[in-house]
Amino acid sequence: MFNWLFNKEVSMPFRENDALVLRGLASHLREICDSERNQALKQRWIDLNDLKHSGPPLLLTSPEGAWREIIPTFPVECEDEQARDWECNLRQRIYQHDIIKDDAACDPVFTVNRAVRISDYGIPFNQSRSDDAHGAYHDEPVLTDLDNDLDRLRFRTMTVDHETSQASFELASQMFGDLLDIQFQSIYWWTCGLTWQAIKLWGLENLMISMYDNPDGLHRLMKFLSDEMLNFITFFEREALLNFNANGGVGSGGLGFTTQLPSRDRPVEGPVQLKHLWGFSESQETVGVSPEMFGEFIYPYQKPLQAKFGLNYYGCCEPSEGRWNNIRQTPNLRAISIAPWSNQATCAELFGRDYVYCRKPNPSPFCMSFNEKEIRKEFKETLTYAGELNTVMILKDTHTVEHEPERFAKWVAIGREELGS
């Protein structure tokens, strides 16, 4: 079974009104990118990721699922389906700057997805979902016997439709290539953490129990997934399909601007390689296992993948401090996620100014009832322990704002008051 990462149908040309709307938005975005404020923010991100940050923490919001509640407030004007998708993309970036007014910096780049077809692992995943398209889902394990079923797994195969990809690229170039730099997407995966795939194949409970009753089988599964992921990411390198990611979002929240990797501003000759990119690993699903078991069954299979990248970001929703003895071995480790349930005093002492301190405040007081008292408390705590570090506060996992999108701008305003920024 194959899944398309991009809609193969590319509509062209656009209607005249659609083109005018897109060009107007692209022109506005270009003005934002060229503004003094954006250039100053970009330099702050460079300083942060180069470990030279000074001053209060940066503030970054990530509306994620809450975009579903924000987008209906946009005056979407385009009629063509592809044009409407691109219009929403541009309006989201403009909204972040004009309305939310956080510390997100941007480059004048418009990204076009390639048409890439990716197979399953020889066995299709078995997922059931609720009636709500954005609601809960359940993954039923597809391996029934770890010892006997592993031989059924196969490396994924990838196929690129270059004709469709190029048509989309040329259409974007025709629409606003004189205003924005049109580029293909940078990478084709999110995490090299492996446990997400392991659980879809074997199940969360099975994964944990196997650490006790079938450690050899679990090692075989993780070795397969590690080798498979290496084959997956190097395919895109071999085919010269990668692009710089040091000018956009990286890891589990943050921006990748840095002088220590090639980028749109500092390109290298020849195809982009993995060593030119930010990498990312996490293992949120194994938050309930001991550091020793994480170090035995998970981390050894992540590390060879991390070694391929020029800089690495580690962690998402799982506390990092208890796993530090392993995580600290990450090659080229630069940024660490500080989860809502992390001990900030411990994290600040462990990580100091040697890494980017990516603090993720608890989204519940923001999403559910907007508890300003708790929100201010979060800012004060981070300022106390990490205010002098290379710190960014990243509001994420915001899958709803109870249809009150103004909460994002309010969160930023409160943060500026508390942090003095």
The pLDDT of residue 123 = 93
The pLDDT of residue 4 = 40
In the chain, the domains with their CATH numbers are 2-419 (3.20.20.210)
Q: Which two tokens stand for residue 12?
A: 């062209």
The pLDDT of residue 7 = 43
Q: 372 vs 35, 59, 377, CA distance in Å?
A: 32, 17, 8
Q: Which two tokens stand for residue 308?
A: 């391929």
The pLDDT of residue 135 = 76
Q: What is the pLDDT of residues 286-331, one digit of tens each?
A: 999 999 999 999 999 999 999 999 999 999 999 999 999 999 999 9
Q: What is the pLDDT of residues 69-105, one digit of tens each?
A: 999 999 999 999 999 999 999 999 999 999 999 999 9
Neighbour order of strands in the sheet with 311-314: 58-61, 391-395, 356-359, 333-338, 311-314, 278-281
Residue labelled with tokens 């009636």: 131
In the predicted model, residues of the chain with pLDDT beneath 70 are 1-13
For residue 395, the surrounding DSSP H or E stretch is strand 391-395
Q: Which two tokens stand for residue 186?
A: 């940078």
36: Cβ contacts below 8 Å, ≥ 6 apart: none
DSSP string across 14-32: PPHHHHHHHHHHHHHHHHH
The pLDDT of residue 156 = 98
State whether residue 102 is helix, strand or coil.
coil
Q: Which two tokens stand for residue 409?
A: 């701008």
